[in-house]
Chains A and B, each alone.
Chain A
Amino acid sequence: MNAPLPQSLTDNPRLDRWVGFEPDRTVRIATGKVELGQGVLTALVQIAAEELDVPPARIRLVSGVTAQSPNEGYTAGSRSIEESGGSIRLVCAEVRGLFLDHIAGVLGCRPAELAIEDGAMLRNGTPTGFDYWSLNEKIDLARPATGSAPVKRAADFRHIGRNLARVDLPAKIAGGAFVHDLAPPGLKHARVIRQPRRGARLKSIDEAAIRRATHGRVELVRDGDFLAVVADDESVAMQAVDAVRRHCVWEGGVSIPADAGEPAFMTAQPSKDRVIETGAPAAGDAVRTLEATYSRPFIAHASLAPSCALANFADGKLTIWSHAQGVYQLRNAVARALGMAPEDVTVMHRQGAGCYGHNGADDAGLDAALVARRLPGRTVRLQWSREDELSAAPFGSAMTVRMQAALDARGRPLDWTHELWSAVHGQRPGMAGNVNLLAAAALPDAPPAPEPVDVPDAGGGGGVRNAANLYDLPRQRVVHHLLTQMPVRTSSLRTLGGYTNVFAAECFMDELAEAAGEDPVSYRLSLMSEPRARRVIETVARLCGWSGRGERGSGTARGLGFARYKNKAGYAAVVAEVDVDEAVRVKRVWCAVDGGLIISPDGARNQIEGGVIQATSWTLKEAVRFDEGRVASITWDDYPILRFSEVPAVEIELIDAPEQPPLGLGEVVHGPTAAAIGNAVAHALGTRIRNLPLTRERIMASVLSEKS
């Protein structure tokens, strides 16, 4: 029996939607997934080349263009290889089979006598004179995929499982490639003047004073409480922002308390609550109960480039060039916000800087469209400022997690509760039927703010992502408090709730091991019967030469963290080695990762290395700060991230599992890395800090309170 088709193929069943043979002897592969810096396009080229038997250089990808690419939703959740890669693999295998069957009929031979080399068909090793391109007219690809064609076996792979150089990197080391660089003739440059608080109203604006201050070189675009400037010269537009701010009076809006995100704040907010329970408490009396509360603050995407979009409005049609993760979703949301028909809006994906979730890309798309609508026929380039990027883009929600376990005489859990408080992790354009674009809320007659709806559990969940774990626990209770009136704008940031939930559960696991007087590796293994999970834990222990933990409080220690991302993507076990004096220094990190079939080993390593470093940055340094009711961390000085002088060495072992389906890898190490660092720091200090980030201030406070 066949496995179910990938969702992308069910949604876009026609073969010619995915693949085509072009007159210049290239192969068009269309994908709805987009390059975010994660290397997905390269992996998709490898998959298509493998199943079609053409060299990667013949593949031309069409990525993220409404009307030309299959609609595959958002490029998110580490699902691209499974969804788009899985679809392309089945489609290409089927197309290859259709061509071979056709030639077998023409030549009167068995398909097994045929092979394909560089797109040309061979019979028993001899050229037949046929190839994909010469037969293109004969084979009708305007038919639905059956998904039943056999894909290549691992033993026959020529491209999958080998390293292919990133297809996007040559342009990037030569200065090209980004949406920011598009410069059509007659380009106008725009900047937005954001409401100082969400929901603030523009009470008055002195347009005459602005004209004087800008020497009449900028045009002001106002639509309700949306405000932008546009000019021929980008520097003029940038400078005009300050002038406009000086001559605007705003009133009202949502004020953010300075302690937003701290556990006392989070647990006091109104919430929608639910309990997810599996198993039943084990029989027997609990000898003791442990409880501990962990937290992280709001985290910024902090993309290296401010969001940017271009837009052109002409003859009732709107075109947007954007680094959005979902071109169809942005198209539909913009169309709704502007009262246009979706078919009159085209969104073309162009690359932006690294994207780690729902950042400002979509918002900038609507911003640009609102300005372009005032300047028909002209292309408008709208770029956010650094301040916008660090304050107006959605944040990953702060979370508080209270862990509780009832333990038997051997220190094993009889019962386990993971209780979490979190704002929503999914407010992408179109989610839960809402527009969810920043400027849309500033337009006249904007609809009231919608009730937050978290990412569905079937999609891995939002706040509850990885709140349940894979250990052999008699009962797991997950208590989810979805905070319904959060003054901070939140949405999807890499791992959603997974980072904090894994940090909490895996630190708590160390606390249980410690209470039982056992080594954290062997304690975990005693509670884990899942073979692939055991294997990554055992592998990372071997890789780092784990031999117990050494003395507590010595200032140097190692710690372990484990998770299977979403409990259905890749498995990762991570060990971190830290030095702690006044601050934490993460020196080395070891990872063992099982991602099933790996398309590109170097691509996988790149994602894992990057994940370790980004998670180290979140864990040691990052927190959005609030002051005077607003986001106060608006420069890189206020929102520091890990630097070259602070990154750990990273050693990775990929588990070889080529016959297993590929599992998403892009987010597997974030949670385990945080837990590994947290556990290492706890052992190095001899006291545990449960609130992230593990800054110098927190370390010093902890050391001082121990001494007093």
Chain B
Amino acid sequence: MSEPVDFIVNGRKVGVSVEAATPLLAVLRNTLGLTGSRFGCGLEQCGACMVLVDGEPVYACTREVGTVGGKTVTTVEGLANGGSLHPLQQAFLAEQAGQCGYCLSGILMSAKALLDRNPHPSRAEIVAALDRHLCRCGAHNRIIRAVERAAAGSAP
């Protein structure tokens, strides 16, 4: 049975009428047209679907939309501010951090949560924050360097 759920996505208030058990990922992609968050496994095992809910990384593939009522959801589409890319996105371009890029949406969100909490993480802290994410092309070292670069660019 459909029911209304109101929440904030990337700074915008949205209201949807869907079954409360619908995965947040399906609502983002199919109802709201935010296709940047990706389906990889549906089992919380790869991190391709990672979004932020009230600033914390959450697997959108299993998170029921009914549980995010009144909360703030941030997706990869919410990283850029108007025309200017987020420092993480700039750093990923500068390091050419990616091959196929399918894992990047989720990784960017976990990296954002890390830097918001800890603007100057150690390499080990970056690795720990990204360890739930899988990358099959082998772009890991570039991705770690990109997060380091973004951190180095933020105010001390």
Contacts and interface: CB of A to CB of B under 8 A. Distances in A.
Contacts of B38: 178, 180, 305
Contacts of B128: 645
B41 A613 contact: no
B82 to A, nearest CB: 13
B96 interface: yes
B39 A306 contact: yes
B127 interface: yes
Interface residues of A, number: 60
Contacts of A649: 141
Contacts of B57: none
Nearest to B65: A235
Contact of A636 (B33, B41, B101, B143): B41
Contacts of B30: 183, 189, 233-235
Given A386-B40, A647-B140, A169 B101 contact: yes
A302 B111 CA distance: 24
A235 B22 contact: yes
B139 A610 contact: yes
Pick from B38, B93, B102 the residue with the most CB of A within 10 Å. Answer: B102
Contacts of B143: 644
A129 interface: no
Nearest to A233: B30
A238 B43 CA distance: 13
Pick from B22, B30, B100, B142 the residue with the most CB of A within 10 Å. Answer: B100
B100 A37 contact: yes
Nearest to A603: B96
A36 B100 contact: yes
A383 B29 CA distance: 14
Contacts of B29: 181, 234
B138 A609 contact: yes
Interface stretch (A347-355, A395-403, A559-567): A347-355
Contacts of B68: none
Contacts of B137: 37, 354, 610, 614
Pick from B36, B135, B138 the residue with the most CB of A within 10 Å. Answer: B138
B142 A173 contact: no
Contact of A234 (B26, B104, B133, B139): B26
A274 interface: no
B130 A304 contact: no
A227 B76 CA distance: 35
Contacts of A233: 30
B136 interface: yes
A174 interface: yes
A52 B34 CA distance: 39
Contacts of B98: 166, 169, 172-173
Contacts of B130: 644
A606 B99 contact: yes
A360 interface: no
Nearest to A353: B102
B45 A636 contact: yes
Contacts, number: 165
B46 interface: yes
B134 to A, nearest CB: 6
A133 to B, nearest CB: 29
Taking chain A's interface residues, is the majority helix, strand, or loop, or is none over half, making it mixed?
loop
B108 to A, nearest CB: 7
Nearest to A610: B138
Nearest to B103: A304
A511 interface: no
Contacts of B45: 386, 635-637
A513 B43 CA distance: 47
Nearest to B80: A174
Nearest to A386: B41
A269 to B, nearest CB: 30
A132 B37 CA distance: 42
A610 B80 CA distance: 28
Contacts of B37: 175
A450 to B, nearest CB: 30
A122 to B, nearest CB: 33
A636 B43 contact: yes
B116 interface: no
Contacts of B104: 172-173
B92 interface: yes
A614 B142 CA distance: 14
Interface in B38-83: 38-43, 45-46, 48, 75-77, 79-80
B60 to A, nearest CB: 13
Nearest to A638: B45
A163 B93 CA distance: 13
B119 interface: no
A602 interface: yes
A490 B106 CA distance: 31
A260 to B, nearest CB: 24
Contacts of B40: 304-306, 386
Contacts of B105: 175
A148 B140 CA distance: 43
Contacts of A176: 35-36
B93 A170 contact: yes
Contacts of A645: 127-128, 131
Contacts of A636: 41, 43, 45-46, 134
Contacts of B113: none
A386 B62 CA distance: 14
Contacts of A385: 42
21 contacts: A36-B100, A38-B99, A165-B93, A169-B98, A172-B102, A172-B104, A174-B85, A234-B29, A303-B136, A305-B38, A305-B102, A306-B40, A352-B100, A352-B102, A356-B136, A386-B41, A610-B99, A612-B138, A614-B138, A645-B128, A647-B140
Interface of B: 19, 22-23, 26, 29-30, 33-43, 45-46, 48, 75-77, 79-80, 85, 89, 92-93, 96, 98-105, 108, 127-128, 130-131, 133-144
Given A234-B29, A606-B139, 11 more contacts: A37-B100, A165-B96, A175-B35, A175-B36, A183-B35, A189-B30, A304-B136, A386-B42, A386-B45, A643-B134, A645-B128
When A and B form their complex, which 8 residue pairs have the shortest distance between CB atoms, in order from nearest?
A175-B36, A37-B100, A172-B101, A613-B138, A610-B138, A354-B100, A353-B102, A181-B35
